[in-house]
Chain A
């Protein structure tokens, strides 16, 4: 069974017909060609699939695409404005907040959501918000520092 859905992704409206069992992640990656979000664990734990649904960060691997019908989705592809990277993206690059990069789309989307809701987060607040975005490479230090730097840059 399929369903025609209409969703706004990164500001652009898309109309797609999807099987009801299609996850939001698969819809973004396969139907819309937005392969920035990754499937890591498939059970909503690792955070590699993090996207924003109506501004709220969710695990897109355990959300159905039909949940997004009539709603707004933000993926990592929607963070930069034209050629200008989002402060979070710029900070991750400047401070080395990523190594292999597989968790990075999820990390930056989650970090953007944090700064949207809490522009000046403490280190504790950063760690608590980000605890669900797993990274096997960095040990998390540079991720936290990148977010702190992004917060500071955004305030200027």
Chain B
């Protein structure tokens, strides 16, 4: 790795001041699982690392007004085991659980996952399906962006220089709604997905037809992707084999995967259709259970 300055600020304002001081030569680091690895490979060479590890106030998981907020410094492991998250948004806790290994999850943070913007990551897919919003802190205030607008390209986000991810807020599921996360990984369990799907299905009060569906896909484009075409196919329909197939095919047409060691582009396209079907079936069943438990 290159020689770099290491700063340990205590507050978000101090972080922003250092980022301002160094401009694009500084990088914020929390868990470091992605960044330190890239630095060891010589791919990233910052002049200054701004550690977030001692910054207070960014590590909470809290629920207010139908929304769960995860601070940027919440680790994957904390999210995975959080009683609040497991009870109120189990699909998200489960998604964090699927990331890599416990060792990685002890260090890697929610904010870091968002800022890293690798489209192969799991949590952004579920956050996208759930309609989460990213909170960004800058000198002079905060702004919010829907997750969909936050990811711009491979490893690129909407973060401007001098900005920091402060947290992410996730709305709870409305009634008659079920959610699922399917991670297809034909290699080892700690790998990134070949294809990942997060589905959120809301049923009509009759419990038969889909009122609204949100389908997010990972590992099949340069960012996590909302499969809006597939969602349209499903809206208003009863879930049967024909509709599942049509939805899967619609999703397949929307993706643009890259061939890599996790699968060829053609294989990933095939698996998109298959995994969308599985995720929808699971989300549908969860929605019916949610509806049933209301009656």
> Which of A's residues lie within 8 Å of B, judged by CB?
1, 3, 19-21, 23, 42-45, 47, 50, 53, 56-59, 62-64, 66-67, 69, 110, 129, 131-132
Contact = CB atoms under 8 A, between A and B. Distances in A.
A58 B101 CA distance: 9
Interface stretch (B36-44, B199-207, B253-261): B36-44
Given A129-B102, A132-B100, A132-B102, A62 B33 contact: yes
B192 to A, nearest CB: 12
Contacts of B188: 131
B237 to A, nearest CB: 37
Interface residues of B, number: 27
24 contacts: A1-B3, A1-B4, A20-B3, A20-B4, A20-B6, A20-B49, A21-B1, A42-B40, A44-B37, A45-B101, A45-B190, A47-B101, A47-B103, A50-B103, A56-B77, A56-B106, A57-B103, A59-B104, A62-B36, A63-B36, A64-B32, A110-B103, A132-B103, A132-B104
A69 B284 CA distance: 49
Task: Label chain A's interface by main secondary structure.
Answer: mixed
Given A21-B4, A62-B40, A132-B100, 19 more contacts: A1-B3, A20-B3, A20-B4, A43-B37, A44-B103, A45-B190, A56-B106, A57-B103, A58-B103, A58-B106, A59-B33, A59-B107, A62-B36, A66-B51, A67-B51, A131-B188, A132-B101, A132-B102, A132-B190
B135 to A, nearest CB: 25
B64 interface: no
B28 to A, nearest CB: 14
A45 B104 CA distance: 9
Most buried by A among B36, B37, B190: B36
